[in-house]
Every structure is written in structure tokens, then in C-alpha cells.
Structure 1
Amino acid sequence: MTPTTTLSSSELMQLEDRYGAHNYHPLPVVLSKGRGVFVWDAEGKRYYDFLSAYSAVNQGHCHPRIVNALVEQARELTLTSRAFYNDKLGPYEKYLTEYFGFDKVLPMNTGAEGVETAIKIARKWGYEKKGIPNGAAKIIVCGQNFHGRTTTIISFSSDPDAKGNFGPYTPGFQAVPYNDLTALKAALDNEPDKIAAFLVEPIQGEAGVFVPDEGFMAAAAELCRERNILFIADEIQTGIGRTGALLRVCGDCNCQSHCEQQATYTRPDILILGKAISGGVYPVAAVLANDEVMEVIKPGQHGSTFGGNPLGCAVAMEALEVIRDEKLTQNARALGKRFRERMQNLVEQYPELLNLVRGKGLLNAVVINDSPESKTAWNICVSLAEHGLLAKPTHGNIIRFAPPLVMTEEQLEECCDIIATVMGKFAK
């Protein structure tokens, strides 16, 4: 492959270090091209991508159908703002609500915007529909959550890096331990008339791919329903096929199809989507709810210049069609099972190095048997990159593995062989 830049990887990294804010700590790899499950660096070396832009490119890098939808729409109309109607937004809203089974959608651009939107809708619903005294609404969240990095969202974060020295913080949130129904019930029973919503990730991705007990989501939804509290599912990372279900919140239904038959008992009152809804080609997010909830939003009360733009609408519709047509949800389910089998073999083979493997579908993590302050997971990821596979640590001693859902069984086995080779080196 011919390099796409005349600058070396070292020179490009120096440019970012010199002119960019130091708000990320990337692996020392400079990527310049992506196709499917592969990415190439500035020198032309090919890698398997096992992060998928934090699950934004479920459909694979530069999927030709999605890119073509972007190019075709870009030739016609890119942005009108919501000051006017456009010919893509209405069809997109109809498509999206029917795809996921809701009455209404409020289009936004990023996951964090989606979470902020859901919070605003929930509070407004609490005041206008539930009768919570103005300014008294509470939202219950889970510890170790990751919903974004806006000022409001970090106010209920337990990550000291995300939260430290950014106060004063937004009030109105109470955290309970994740996957703890007893603690959740106690929180919901404490002044339930003032609680507007419970906000939760069906799997905590950034925290290290923590998977709750089977039935936890359904039971949490029922607790909320009994108390007239909105159940909000943040499926920004877990949605769109990543976990082997179209939505992880309905994963307990064990639906073997595209998941049109979503189990009603786990269906959220508000659903937040982002990342893979556009296949990584363009920033798109969406908040979905039924009329009784969404109708609290009136003109001028919330919006975005770019939200619902024609370009994003065209891209998102094609990206979701790819998920359906290529049966990527089903592929994630099958390959994820095989991946965890291979990783469990490594855990049993190298117990001094590897603690456990966990996950659903193709959202998985391997926990390194070392402290979060150690460099072991980072060094393993550097070695994996040298062997042609890109992954990234989270919380120090956890490596998240999340390849594009277009991966084949043969490619997965090759990647597992690479991981086995590197783990064997570190176990010696």
C-alpha cells in the first residue's frame, strides 16, 4: 500500500503533541486508511482494528454503501438547520422510529448530546407529567458509569480523571452500585415522587465491559414502571448489534433474529443511540421515546444546528440497512461466543497473567492479573500492535476487544492466534 502522507508517523505524532490539547493518551500508531476490519498506518503497515472507534464502526471502516450515501447526499444538500424543513429528515424519523419501535425521535449529533437531551426530557416530563416540584427532580445513575464528558454528565461520574477540578457540579443525581437491584430499589423508594428517571448502560463499556446479571435490566425496568419513573437506556456503545442483539437492553429475550420482537418488559422509556448508528462515517445521535414522554418538548426548548441534517439522515439510514442486510447482529453473537472461548482457554493457560474474560457479542474484555496502576496491559497492547492488532487498555489493567462486526470467522481465529502469541510472551 502506498503511504497517504509524506510525513512519518513520528512527525505526525509530534504535530499532535505540539499543537493539540493533551486530552487523550493514544497508542503510538498513526492511522491513515481503513477498510472493513483493517486499518493502515502512515508507513503502510496493516493492522486488525479491535477497538472499532469505541464501537462506532460496527459496519467496518469506510463501508462502501455508507460512504456512497454520504457522497451522494453531499452533492445535493448538507445542512439547512432546523429553521426549515428538509427532504431527508421526515423519512429518516419515520425510518428510525419504526426500526426501533418508538413514536418519536429527537435527532442530535453525539452521544454526550444524546445523554444531555435525555436528561432534559426526563426532568421536563417529571415536572409537567409526574408533578415533581420544580427544581426537585432526581435522576438515579450507576457508579462507574460513562455517559460522556459534559459538565452535567461528569457531575455524576465516579472517574476522578473525568471529574476532578471541573466543578462546581450539577446537582440532582444519585449513584447506586451497578447490577445491585437491592440498592436500586432502596434508592427508588427514597422519595419516589421526586425521581424522574433511572439512567443506565446495559453493559458498562468504558468501566471495563461489566455485564450485569441476566434479568437485571428487566427487573430494573419493572421497578421503575411500578413507581412511575422513566427507564433510560444508554445504548450508545452497546446498541446497533455490538452485543449480539440489536439493543442490549432487550438481550434477555434471546431473540435470534434482527430483534424486531423486542421484549416489551425490557423496553426503555427513553433510548439513547449514537456511534454505530452512522457507521463511523458522520456524527449522528438520537433520543427515542413515545409520545407521552417526547411531547413535553416544544419549539425553542431544545435543539441543535446540525441535529437532523440531511447528510446525517442519509448516512444513518444506510448504516442501519447494512446492519440488517448483512446480518451483523447475528455475526456478532456467533463470533463473540467463539472469541470468549479462545480467551477463556488463555485465562486457564496463563492464570498468573490473565484473570478473566467477560462480555457479550463482540464487546469483550480481558482482565490482566495486575494492579490498575501497572503498565502490563499497556505494554501488552503495544506488543499486540507490533504483531498487527490494535486494542486499548481501560482502567489500567483491562483490555477491551471490540472488532468491527463484519469480521469473518477466519479473521477472528487469526486475531485470537495473535493475542495468544503475545500473551504467551508476557506469561513467561
Structure 2
Amino acid sequence: MSKILIRGAKVLGGEPQDVLIDGETIAEVGTALSDEGAQVVEAAGKVLLPGLVDLHTHLREPGREDSETVLTGTRAAASGGFTAVFAMANTFPVADTAGVVEQVYRLGQEHGYCDVQPIGAVTVGLEGRKLAELGAMHESAAGVTVFSDDGKCVDDAVIMRRALEYVKAFGGVVAQHAQEPRLTEGAQMNEGVVSAELGLGGWPAVAEESIIARDVLLAEHVGSRVHICHLSTAGSVEIVRWAKSRGIDVTAEVTPHHLLLTDEMVRTYNPVYKVNPPLRTERDVMALREALADGTIDIVATDHAPHPHEDKDCEWAAAAMGMVGLETALSVVQATMVDTGLLTWAGVAERMSVKPAQIGQAGGHGRPVSAGEPANLTLVDTEYRGSVDPAGFASRSRNTPYEGRELPGRVTHTWLRGKATLVDGKLT
């Protein structure tokens, strides 16, 4: 049945409306719409959003299929309400050529749970010494517009300048993992009171902030676009705010876990809390929430980083950095931003769908919920409360910091161009 009537949903959290999907498109939005010939989804009390877009996902394929694959990662994305994800380049082999990005792109097309847009590496092998084939990746079937060495910082200022100059020619963007490597040698967690008490190597805020400061100035000098990945400190917020006040073309993202968790969690020595950049202080968390609310931080991105059990279930120093996030992202944002009154659901749509789609140039995504637009949609039961059980995750990995924690909200339905990928909380 090609017609679907979503009845009585609160579109962007507003007044109840009916939304009629016909094929791949939203045919009509209004009240008391006819359900003739349509499958009806009763959505009273639920919030309807444009499909979520994640600008920062690690799908691990090719090379680390023991952690995640494009199939399992996109199934996790659909479970979390995402209709498009941007796949980071730190695969094996690295996505630094047209051939590799096209492989990832085609795998996404084959599996169909959400659109997959590869991110190309900035430098060959993520080694920071030589620019990768940026133009060839852009001109490939994948049409890459976002480039990042995420997991590693492009710490050479000359290489970063050249990358910004290169992508300017076709309107691309360089997404920087801001981490001055010499300031973080041996670092295990945020540098501060807790790291001193625990005897763990400290990761100073200035290691992030110094790179952001340099790169916004480079972007201004070149007249190009720079995007800051997983911003995590109050100082970084102030630098981005200053840069925007000067008209510099900079955007920034924050992860759900940096909106909720603090370095106090590391006292457990549980490696599930080991992440890059590290969990920061309560003061940083509050600054990040305020910056997301006022628009200094543009978007929420998951930094979904799956790892196999053996890479996380070990002593802290040996554990891999990263957390899965696709299936819990919207719930964390509801808990930290909506339920606290900092954002409306319309604001959530702006930061988790509209703006990430704009930054990444994800055509057909982040569009208004209105007639004539592609039917990329997410339906959320915002009244739901439940404990996180990773055993039920669609992701191949289970390294979540929220196991057993009660979080609000539950995605019940996801539609990708009118095709249901999630129905009543179950993947189709």
C-alpha cells in the first residue's frame, strides 16, 4: 500500500495534524484528512519530525566488520529515527580515494535502511602529511562534500590551509577533530581534579581550544568553510561564538554524551566512559547545553563509535575510545534539552535534521513536513520512559554508557522516502 496516513501527530511538537504520504512524497498535511485507500498510523500524542540526519557516524566497513557494518549501522540509525548518516573515513582501508567512498556509498544504497553519505579523508591514510584525492572523491558517484581525518587531528597548519583552499572550489567543508597531539600524549581523561585524584593522564581543554582557534582564523583567511567535530569545552564554545561574531564561516557539533555525562563517571574506571574527546566537567556540560540552545553550536551529531566487546571490556588504559549513540541520541537530547526547557521540538528538528542536512548538503533530507516534500519522517513517543537495554540494539556493538539508565522518549516509526524502516519500534 503506497498511501500512509499519519493521524493526529504533533508536527514539530505543535498542534495535532494528519500527514498523508503517497509513494515517496508527502501529499497533504491538514486536519481530518481522508484515510481512503491508506494504511493508518494512529499518532495521537506523538511528535512528528523530519527524519534525523547524523553528520558524524562510524560504520567501520570496510575493515572492522566485527564492530559494525553498513547494514547493522544503518539499521541502528533507522531505530534511532535517522534517515541519513555521514560515514567517517577512518576505515581499513581509509576512505581517501574515490574507490573506497564509492564502495561505502553503494553499500548504503543496497541496504536501504537510511541514506549513507561517505565522508572523505583530508589526508592520505589519515597521516596528516599529504592531501588525499579530495577532488576525485567529490567528483565520484558518492559526491563527497565533507572531509575529515576524524580520530586524528589535521595538526599541520599548512596542510589544513591547503585543504580549506581546495574544498572552497566546490563548496565543500573540512570537519576538524580538534586535538593538538603533543598536548594529549598519554592522555586518558579530562585534565582536572578527577584526573589528579585518579592518577590518570590528563587531557587539557586547551588541546581542543587551540586547534579551533587556529582553524577559524585559517578559514577566515582563506574564505572557506570549517566544521568543528564533537566540541566539548566551555572555552571552545567561546571561541566559536567569537568566530561567528566576526562572520567566519564556521559550524560546530556537540554529541549527546557531552550534553549529559561528566568526568565524574570515570571514577568507576569503567571503560564504557572512555571517549575522544573525553567527558568534561559539569561546567562544560552546562555551557554546551546553553550554546546548543542559542545556536552557537549548530547541531547534535552522535559520533557513533562501535567497538567489539573485547576492545571495551578490559582495563581502562588498554580500552578503545568511543561509544555507540545512534539508538539513544534523541532520548538524550530530549532529557537534556527538551525536558529542561532549553529547546522546543522544532528546535530539535533544526539541530538534528535541518542544519546537519544543510552542512552536509544531504539533498532531500532536513526538509519541512509539508506537501510536496520527500517523506523522510520520524515519529516519537515523547511520553515513554524506559531503561536502556543494549541487548535490544540493532548495532553490532553494545558499548553504551547508558545501560540501565532511564531515558525519555522512544522512536516508534521511521520513514525513508515513504518506505517504513521502523514500525512500532521494530525494524521492517
TM-score range normalised by the length of the shorter chain: under 0.3
TM-score normalised over the length of structure 1 = 0.27
Greater helix fraction, Structure 1 or Structure 2: 1
Relative contact order, CA 8 A, sep 6+: which one is greater? Answer: 1
TM-score normalised over the length of structure 2 = 0.27
Name the larger-Rg structure.
1
